[in-house]
Amino acid sequence: MLIDIHTHTYPTSADSTLTPEKLISESKRIGLDGICITDHDGFWDPSDIKKLSIKHDFLILPGCEVTTEEGHLLVYGLEEYIFGMHKSKFVKELVNEVSGAIVVAHPYRRVYRESAQQDEFSYQEMLKRALRNDVFKLTDALEVKNGRGSTNENLFSERLSQELSLPGTGASDAHSLKEIGTYATKFMDPIRNLGDFITALKSGNFSSQKVKHSILD
């Protein structure tokens, strides 16, 4: 199954221009089997997600992109924002309580600089700096293909996943219509609901996949 596990809708994500209806219709049109709505620091009511899924006869799963001091976490299984979630360790505690899952979004951010000198020494220094981030000890996977990232940024994320022996996901990180479905995650097992999805994320039995050209290609 091909699922875009990182998308944003307006108004919960203020920087998105996508209504849920536009996101769903375009995702169906390009051949995705499902999506996760992961708005910034805002949780959808699970009952509203279920209604949308039934209305459009399409797999829609709830999640959230949580902003922490150590980076952005795609969180699945939680239903509300709780004070203190700017600390990644606290997010991990909450996720463990509900047997949820975490994926580190765009892990190249903060450390990889395309404008920096691109020699092997500089690259290795960026890699070492990234690997010192304790957030990678808390996650089930890394987002190695992000539709808003450049080719080199995504390659850096892939290198991180290899160094950390963590599986890699793909997603569009869509905030606009043209960004939907640039990348997605291909799951080997059937996904019928959030429980199946979390189990699949924890199994590592998936891979990132390009669906259409990234806006930065």
90 pLDDT above the threshold of 80: yes
User: Per-residue pLDDT averaged across 90-115, rounded?
Assistant: 94
DSSP string, the chain: -EEEEEE--TTTSTT----HHHHHHHHHHTT-SEEEE--BT----HHHHHHHHHHHTSEEEE-EEEEETTEEEEEES--S--TTTTSHHHHHHHHHHTT-EEEE-STTTTT--TTS--SHHHHHHHHHHHHT-GGGGS-SEEEEEETTS-HHHHHHHHHHHHHHT--EEEE--BSSGGGTTSEEEEESS---SHHHHHHHHHHT-EEEEE-S--TT-
pLDDT digits (tens, 9 = 90+) for 149-182: 999 999 999 999 999 999 999 999 999 999 998 9
- In sequence order, what are the beta bridge partners of 59? 34
216 pLDDT above the threshold of 80: no
155 burial type by CB count under 10 A (0-12 exposed, 13-18 middle, 19+ buried): middle
Question: In which band, very low, low, confident or very high, does the pLDDT at 13 lie, cut at 50, 70 and 90?
Answer: very high
Per the structure block, which two tokens stand in for 73? Answer: 């976490």
User: Per-residue pLDDT averaged across 89-109, rounded?
Assistant: 97
pTM: 0.94
pLDDT digits (tens, 9 = 90+) for 119-150: 888 889 999 999 999 999 999 999 999 999 99
Q: Residue 110's pLDDT is what? A: 85
- State how far the Cα of 160 lies from the Cα of 28, in Å rounded to an integer: 32
Sorted by where each starts, the structural domains of the chain and their CATH numbers stand as 2-210 (3.20.20.140)
**Range of weakest confidence among 57-61, 78-82, 89-93, 112-116:** 112-116
- In sequence order, what are the beta bridge partners of 35? 4, 60
